[in-house]
Chain A
Amino acid sequence: MYDNEVKSILFAGVGGQGILRASDIICEVIMEAGFDVKKSEVHGMAQRGGCVTSHVRYGKKVFSPLAETGSIQTLVSFEKMEALRYLKLLRSDAEIIVNSEEIYPPAINMGDMPYPDKAIDFLKKNYKKVISFNAAELAQKAGNIKTANVVMLGALSNLMQIDKSIWENVIKKSFPEKLIKINLEAFQMGINA
């Protein structure tokens, strides 16, 4: 981003995956890097295992915290099926980072509807850049499954022109002392994913 273009990132996933925390961290990173930033999400009902999304928008001057439908450049989906739910919001040349984990909603558990198969293949066929990995497995390798959200941030950091040291500093400030090492490890896992 070199002019007044505003960039939009959409975080999507399931309540309880640490999406809001991840989008808080990225906003701090963007602010530290000297940009204006706004983010938007809805709390309340959404916390109880339902769909969660968070819009993050940054640039020289940002008005709307919500991106216009069809204008989002980057999708970070914490669950595979959830990535398919928001494609309408994306530009046709959007970049997608997707956690390949599957979390079944009630209608799928009850056998009323199928879980979409070949979601990643579909994304790869329709979008030029799709990065997919199992964030839970990488988080487990880093030492704690709950750091999957920071793994996702690591992967996202590769797509943004913001110095990695700023990311690391914000991560250090965002967690209690004893969790810093494990989260930095998770961040690195995401960078290498």
Chain B
Amino acid sequence: MKVLMSGNEAIARGAYEAGVRFAAAYPGTPSTEIMEEFSKYDGVYAEWSTNEKVAVEVAIGAALAGEKSLAIMKHVGVNVAADPIFTVSYTGTNGALVIISADDPSLHSSQNEQDNRNYARFAKIPMLEPADAQEARKFIKLAFEISEKFDTPVFLRSTTRVSHSKSVVDIEEPEKYKDRTGFVYNAEKYVMVPNCARLRRVEVEKRQKALKEFVETFPENRMEINNQEAGIITAGMPYNYAKEVFPDYSYLKLGMVYPLPEKLIRDFASKVKKIYVIEELDPFLEEQIRAMGIEVIGKAIFPYTNEFEPGIIRESIEKNTKGAVSPYKETLAPRPPNLCPGCPHRGLFYALRKNKVYVHGDIGCYTLSYMKPLQGLHSCICMGASIGMTHGMSKAMKEKGKGKVVGVIGDSTFLHSGITSLLNMAYNNSDALIIILDNSTTAMTGMQEHPGTGYTLMGREAKKVNLIDLVSSLGIENIKIIDPIDQKATGSAIKEELAKDGPSVIIAQRPCALFKRSKIKPKPALKVDQDKCEGCRACIDLNCPPIAWKKGVTKEGSKRKGVAVIDETLCNGCGLCAQICKFGAIS
């Protein structure tokens, strides 16, 4: 049957067809929908783990029990999970284990553009890379076959463009699930103390050798011989871009990007006059092929940064092409993503800004507040980093930093990797303030459950972590809870906690404005009284999507040059702007 599917939907479908019934993940764009789709299939166990490292460890446990198990994450999630990944490469997987890394060339929704193909080589784990949804469905099945055959974890690498593009997919009947679980005792294989690990280290190299032979005949490493003047070696989405602009060239399309099929590459090289290696980000294939002594053209002409599109490949190869131009020459106002109407973060950052503090941010919707006009945070590195950075800066600044260094972190991010660093703050007696932005969900990636929401991915009621108890048990004594839309309470809580010695935590608690189970229901849209508005733009400074500036509306006896207006189709009546307005014009 033919259906239209995204790459992510196809990966979930393929895993289900392969008989996989066990998966663990932490949400992260562009990977999130794989787990959301997988969890909908009958008879599966699917969980949001607290972070990617935990997800991989959960998946390893299931694999050691004999299951075919799947761990899913975005590219930077693999950094978090790297510790168990490098060593499960030694132990092997008993059942089967596939780790999905969804990379994000062009940083559409990420803090960096790392090329996770490097992890395959680094950890000596084979990696498959599909080019579209059809291949994604097929390759995830092949990944499980390889994992079982070679007793190895296998990476499946997707990119944003593969994950989020839709195309026509032939789906098949799913394999019937067979319960193969049972205890396998084999301490020498699974207890990675030096004595045993040294032995496994040798096994890894044996496996590498076997895999190198296997890839020579792996059918998804495919030659297409056409015009022999030029050959292209490529993998994943760039294959489609190249085929689009150079359909007549010869191709070596690699389905498996690690390890590489050396004989096949040599064979291809002997058939074509020159070779282009087309790959986004790092010269991962290029450097390995050059090391075989084969001359290729790669990053000398193709960009290192950002994802490609067909035009980039044409322009890089045909140097004299005239690039497309727009007839419109004026600069357009940018349209960056914004915090939603009624977003609790807007209230928090508006109140925080008045204290002229240095704010370390973290990963979540609130990063959007760094832009004008809120300019709410001054650093952001990775999941959980805000707390450690806040502590470090405050210690380094000593008295100068007193009452001036703040860290902000979302609830899901705090539970992902903030707990240990908050414990560190208590242990090393920090003087800084951490604000946990508790909006009751994982908002940025689209409302996923976490240990603070009271529900699991599969919709069951779950133990709900109590943030106050948790923070207090880590050793934090100064704890306050506020509603960040309430400007008076928020403002005074921040002032009080900044003045205190020792570490403080403020829990800014109000559900995300899009959160379906929220007890705070949308209120009628607010209106600006055009007679009372003095055109001071204080409400515009909130950068709330429904509030717009209407110029030219003047008033007798007032210097105003325009008025604020509220789009009633967008406003949900949170009331923040009404608190800001000095003229009582908003109600």
Contacts and interface: CB of A to CB of B under 8 A. Distances in A.
B336 A66 contact: no
B328 A44 contact: no
A31 B309 contact: no
B338 A88 contact: no
List the 5 closest pairs (A to B, CB-CB), nearest first.
A70-B324, A44-B109, A50-B337, A44-B29, A48-B337
A53 to B, nearest CB: 11
Contacts of B331: 113
A46 B311 CA distance: 23
Contacts of B445: 44
A33 interface: no
Contacts of B582: none
A41 B164 contact: yes
Nearest to A41: B164
B4 A27 contact: yes
B558 interface: no
Contacts of B245: 68
B225 interface: no
Interface string B293-326: 0000000000000000111001000000001111
B167 A38 contact: yes
Contacts of A24: 4, 166
Interface in B232-262: 239-241, 243-245
A106 B543 contact: yes
A49 B338 contact: yes
Contact of B109 (A42, A70, A81): A42
Interface stretch (B122-130, B477-485, B545-553): B545-553
Interface string B430-461: 00000000000000111000000000000000
A111 B550 CA distance: 10
Between B165, B168, B371, the greatest number of chain A beta carbons within 10 A of the residue's beta carbon is seen for B165
Contacts of A111: 537, 549, 551
Interface string A83-115: 011011100000000000000111111111111
Chain B CB within 10 A, most for which of A40, A45, A64, A69: A64
Nearest to A89: B324
Interface string A54-71: 000000001111111111
B108 interface: yes
B382 interface: no
B325 A68 contact: no
B240 A64 contact: yes
Contact of B240 (A49, A63, A69, A104): A63
Given A64-B243, A87-B327, A109-B540, A49 B161 contact: no
B337 A31 contact: no
A116 B373 contact: no
A109 B365 contact: no
Interface string A102-132: 0011111111111110000010001000000
Contact of B337 (A49, A81, A84, A115): A49
Given A31-B4, A49-B545, A67 B164 contact: no
Contacts, number: 167
Interface of B: 2, 4, 29-30, 33, 108-109, 132, 160-161, 164-168, 239-241, 243-245, 309-311, 314, 323-328, 330-340, 365, 368, 371-373, 444-446, 537, 540-541, 543, 545, 547-549, 551, 569
A37 B132 CA distance: 12
Q: Summarize A's interface: helix, strand, loop or mixed.
A: mixed
A15 interface: yes
Interface of A: 14-15, 24, 27-28, 31, 36-51, 62-71, 81-82, 84-85, 87-89, 104-116, 122, 126, 145
30 contacts: A24-B166, A38-B132, A38-B165, A38-B167, A42-B164, A43-B164, A45-B29, A46-B108, A48-B340, A49-B545, A50-B336, A62-B167, A63-B243, A64-B241, A64-B244, A65-B132, A65-B161, A65-B165, A65-B167, A68-B245, A69-B309, A69-B324, A70-B323, A84-B330, A106-B372, A106-B373, A108-B333, A110-B373, A110-B543, A113-B331
A127 to B, nearest CB: 9
A37 B168 contact: yes
Given A43-B30, A44-B108, A110-B372, A68 B167 contact: no
Contacts of A116: 330, 332
A66 B108 CA distance: 15
A74 B30 CA distance: 27
Nearest to A13: B335
B396 to A, nearest CB: 32
Given A41-B164, A85-B332, A68 B309 contact: yes
B541 to A, nearest CB: 8
B373 A44 contact: no
Given A62-B167, A109-B547, 20 more contacts: A39-B165, A42-B109, A43-B30, A43-B164, A45-B108, A45-B368, A47-B337, A48-B368, A49-B335, A63-B240, A63-B243, A64-B243, A66-B161, A69-B324, A85-B332, A88-B324, A104-B549, A109-B549, A110-B540, A111-B549
Contacts of A71: 310-311
A115 B332 CA distance: 8
A166 to B, nearest CB: 14
A105 B548 contact: no
B560 to A, nearest CB: 13
B92 to A, nearest CB: 35
Contacts of A42: 30, 108-109, 160, 164
Contacts of B2: 31
